[in-house]
Homo-oligomer: A and B are copies of this chain.
Amino acid sequence: MDGEIFDEQDPVKLYVPKRERREKFTIDARAPIGVFDSGIGGLTVVRELMRQIPDERMVYFGDTARLPYGAKSRDTIIRFSRQIVRFLKTKGVKAIVIACNTASSHALKTLAEENEIPVIGVIYAGALSAVRATKNGRIGVIGTRGTVNSEIYPKVIQSISPGIRVFQKACPMFVPLVEEGLLHDSVTDEMAARYLQELKEKYVDTLVLGCTHYPLLRSTIGRVMGEEVTLVNPAYETATELRDILAREKLLNPGDGNMEGKYRFYVSDLAENFRDFANSILPTEHLEAKKIEIEEY
């Protein structure tokens, strides 16, 4: 592959800029990985990165002042994402993970083209995993309105395997239900039953959890869909892909440097539930988040 998988003709692949572009810069393998999301959902990606590449340092940014991204327009999401990338680059990151399906749908191509470090989203990894998992060629995708309307999952899945049929359903209430902590609740059960009925009627055998909040509803979604349906969590696949890219590009952290402040968390608003949520899903102790003024970047 050799840094050549960036392809103008095929904008759906993982974005690693061409080597000649990147060699103008010196990327430090000991630098942290930048990860961002609209708020807390991206922490499910951080959790996977911590598991799969435990020697890596990370700088996380959650745009809690402007969340949720799900129903906002493409232009707005690109503008917000550019500000965030400018902020993350002030922290000297060696790669950027867009840990948000909506932002990956709208902004990945732009950000990858504009930056000299690898920028990856969660879509391609999730799509590839779903293609590998399906046996009957019928894949369901659930996500925010933004992700579903962008048609990115059907496009990517069909670019990988043209014969596959993709059925999408936006589940806009899932994010607020997760943010309110109603992970195991009769209201969540009812909304899940309603949203997923359509996909069950399409006999999908694989379902992509196309929003980083949704893995937290995995048990509810799994129960409604039935155990014969494979649930794909793009966070897992994204971590694997990033590990492979870093290895290939010789950018894996050797783990021998200063690990003070190994994981740093920044938010645009000190919403009380960010810290609680992060502490509940991440294996770190006493995580602290620092507020920054993202609009100044």
* Residue positions of A touching B, CB distance < 8 A: 64-66, 71-73, 75-76, 80, 172-173, 175-177, 179-180, 182, 186-187, 190-191, 268-273, 295
From known contacts A66-B65, A76-B269, A271-B71, infer whether A180 and B187 are also in contact, taking CB-CB under 8 Å. no
From known contacts A66-B65, A72-B271, infer whether A180 and B172 are also in contact, taking CB-CB under 8 Å. yes
> Once bound together, how far apart are the Cα atoms of A65 and B67, in whole Å?
9
> Once bound together, how far apart are the Cα atoms of A187 and B179, in whole Å?
17
Taking a contact as CB atoms closer than 8 A, the residue among B75, B186, B269 that contacts A73 in the complex is B269
Contact A187 B191 (CB under 8 A): yes
Taking a contact as CB atoms closer than 8 A, the residue among B75, B179, B180, B295 that contacts A295 in the complex is B295
> Once bound together, how far apart are the Cα atoms of A76 and B63, in whole Å?
12
CB-defined contacts of A175 to chain B, threshold 8 Å = 176
12 A-B pairs with C-beta separation under 8 A:
A65-B66, A71-B271, A71-B272, A73-B270, A73-B271, A76-B269, A173-B176, A173-B180, A173-B182, A175-B176, A186-B190, A190-B190
CB-defined contacts of A272 to chain B, threshold 8 Å = 71
Taking a contact as CB atoms closer than 8 A, the residue among B65, B176, B191 that contacts A76 in the complex is B65
Contact B268 A76 (CB under 8 A): yes
Contact B71 A273 (CB under 8 A): yes
Taking a contact as CB atoms closer than 8 A, the residue among B76, B187, B295 that contacts A190 in the complex is B187
> Once bound together, how far apart are the Cα atoms of A65 and B71, in whole Å?
9
> Once bound together, how far apart are the Cα atoms of A177 and B172, in whole Å?
10
CB-defined contacts of A177 to chain B, threshold 8 Å = 173
Contact B72 A269 (CB under 8 A): yes
CB-defined contacts of A71 to chain B, threshold 8 Å = 179, 271-273
Chain B nearest Cβ from A188, distance in angstroms: 10
> Once bound together, how far apart are the Cα atoms of A191 and B186, in whole Å?
10
User: Sorted from nearest, which 4 A-B pairs have the closest CB atoms?
Assistant: A176-B176, A76-B269, A66-B66, A295-B295
- Nearest to A273 among chain B residues (CB) is B71
Chain B nearest Cβ from A81, distance in angstroms: 13
